[in-house]
Structure formats: structure tokens, C-alpha cells
Structure 1
């Protein structure tokens, strides 16, 4: 069984490079107002473990996690 999450490499304290920052994935609930870079303003209608469904007025779109182009208003 494979996981969709990538394992983070171990960061050594003696390394001259900074560790990659933790990716923060926003959590949405039904009726949240959102803004999407491609689709515009919308309202969350369904929340799933790996995606959310957003009603943008003329269409409903399933947006997969990590929601890179979408932000909560």
C-alpha cells in the first residue's frame, strides 16, 4: 500500500543547508468562501479527505489537495 505523502529526508544538524519548511495544507469546511486563481470566487460544497468540491456559480469543480491555487476568504 503506497502513501500519497512523500517521506521527508532526514536533516542533519551539521548540514550547511536549511531544511525545507513544512508544507501547510489549509483545511476547508462546507460553506467556506474561497478564491481560486483560475476559477474565481466560489463556495465549498463538499469536503473529502483528498479534495474539496467548490461551486463557482456556473460550474462545480473538485480541487485536489494541497490546494495550491486556492485561498480562503
Structure 2
């Protein structure tokens, strides 16, 4: 006879009992901010679209539109 998963007791120190962590807040950028991108390198924010939904960044003459949540972009 097998027990169902609902009746099984879990240890309080188990890493599987941890509640899901809240997502970190999305970085807010402004025109003129200096940034670093994992792939494109250093740049400067030229424009912010919508409510920080995307940013237009100049990477030494090459422009890129980076979408939120900016996982590869960091403010300097």
C-alpha cells in the first residue's frame, strides 16, 4: 500500500518547502543613464519607451532597443 503525497510529512528544513520568492523590482532607467550590457558593452540611454517597457541605448555608435525586464542590462 502506498501513501499519497498529501499525507506525507515534510521536514521544516527541507529546501522544497520554501515559498516562492517575490520577483525583484524592475530597474528604472532615465535618459542619460550610463549602462553596461552583457553582449553589447558600455552605452548610454537615449530614450525610455512607455512606463520603462523598453529603452533605446547607444553602444558607441550602434543603437539597441532593450526590452524589460533588462536581464542583461545594468546601470553604472
Q: Give the TM-score category using the shorter length.
A: 0.7 to 0.9
RMSD: 1.1
In the comparison of the two structures, how many residue pairs are matched? 58
Where structure 2 has 5 or more consecutive residues not aligned to the other structure, the ranges are 1-16
**Bigger radius of gyration, 1 or 2?**
2
Where structure 1 has 5 or more consecutive residues not aligned to the other structure, the ranges are 1-15
* Bigger fraction of residues in helix: 2
Whole-angstrom CA distance in 2 between matches of 1:65 and 1:42: 17
Question: TM-score if structure 2 supplies the norm length?
Answer: 0.70
Question: TM-score if structure 1 supplies the norm length?
Answer: 0.73
